[in-house]
Amino acid sequence: MHPHRAWAEIDLDAFAGNLREIRRRVGRRRIFLVVKADAYGHGAVPLVHHALRCGVDAFGVGDSHEALELREAGVRAPILVLGTIVEGEERAIVEHGIEVGIHAADRVRSLRKTAAAARREVGVHLNLDTGMGRLGVFPERARTVLEEIRRSKALRLAGIMTHLSSRQGWRDPFTAEQVERFERFLDLATLLGVRRASVHLANSAAIFTGLPDLHDAVRPGIAAYGVLPRRLSEGTKLRPVLSLRTQIVFLKDVPAGTSVGYDRTFVTVRPTRIATIPLGYHDGLPWNLGNRGEALVRGARVPIVGAVSMDYATLGVGGIPGVRVGDVVTLIGRDGGEEIAAEEVAGRAGTIAYEIVCGIGRRVRRVLVGGGKPAVAPGRRVPPLLVGR
């Protein structure tokens, strides 16, 4: 039997290959690899260290907690909080040299005050809202914020950025509208004398659909993990980095008319064999895959039968000869000639592949393979945010 109840194999060689493919497409531009949401569920700390060995320049995270986690793990490369920070987090950000996306003038003032008190300089990236409608400064108001940043001796304008809204990248006409709004502000910034800030807007979809101007920096995320939708990644060398596996912990031969799982959503119509696996919706197996999803056992597809519960799910394995307790079960990944991709799981669950990989829970061990000697991803201690200190 495998030593873990459930595990996600993280293929460092596939990860390195994906980074090479991204580098081939973006040339010598600076890469802010996006590792938010624990590197999209893959395990941020070990992947960041491997990315540094692969030549990645900097990293983007979702919040200050993720940034501090990387600093605690010894990452000294530039880290940018792409999302917003909230009141009380400024001091930790300043003390650990973390760069921040700026979405409003009041954040400029609070960061300036904190940085000045600590006698430190903070790198900030002015985030323009060109059409995402979520975070960011409208371009027509951004000049005021830009000038306030430049007046402060405690703040350094490290970048100007925007967030493209379409998952179709350059194939969506609205992306061109966003780019035009962004370019108009860049022209203004140039007239105001801005010369040294990085300029970045290209995410994975933009990079792989041929955005004409990638400027001097890019922010790939999901493509690095090989989960970019196939319609965008056809013809590339991207490979999935994550395989989600568990093992059979119990087998039961049942007669016809036996109900399986909560609410009797599955009742056998003939004698069969039911396998129980120790992985449920708390671990990232979507609840609505009950009676809808599939898994791989001994290189063959088998149905998920009955409702997925918090800790367990059940499989119909009556057609698999020789099946036994301890057999490996693959929910995402390849087994023999069969493969289940995260995008297929997402389609069956009625969601997107991003949610599938990001939802893989803490009980699922991340096991690193390739890139040298296989190892289990180390546990991580998360530092405090220094609130109120």
Residues designated as active site: 36, 262
Where helices occur in the chain by DSSP H, the ranges are 12-26, 36-40, 44-53, 64-72, 90-95, 105-118, 139-151, 173-191, 204-208, 230-233, 342-349, 353-358
Q: Counting beta carbons within 10 angstroms of the beta carbon of residue 190, is it exposed (0 to 12), middle (13 to 18) or buried (19 or more)?
A: exposed
Distance of CA 31 to the CA centre of its chain: 15
Asked whether the beta carbons of 160 and 128 are under 8 A apart, the reply is yes
Asked whether the beta carbons of 71 and 51 are under 8 A apart, the reply is no
Asked whether the beta carbons of 312 and 281 are under 8 A apart, the reply is no
Distances (CA, A) of 334 to 75, 223, 299: 32, 19, 8
- Residue 155's CB is within 10 A of a number of other CB atoms, namely 22
Beta bridge partners of 244: 8, 332
Asked whether the beta carbons of 11 and 369 are under 8 A apart, the reply is yes
| Torsion angles phi and psi, residue 336, rounded to 5 | 65, -130
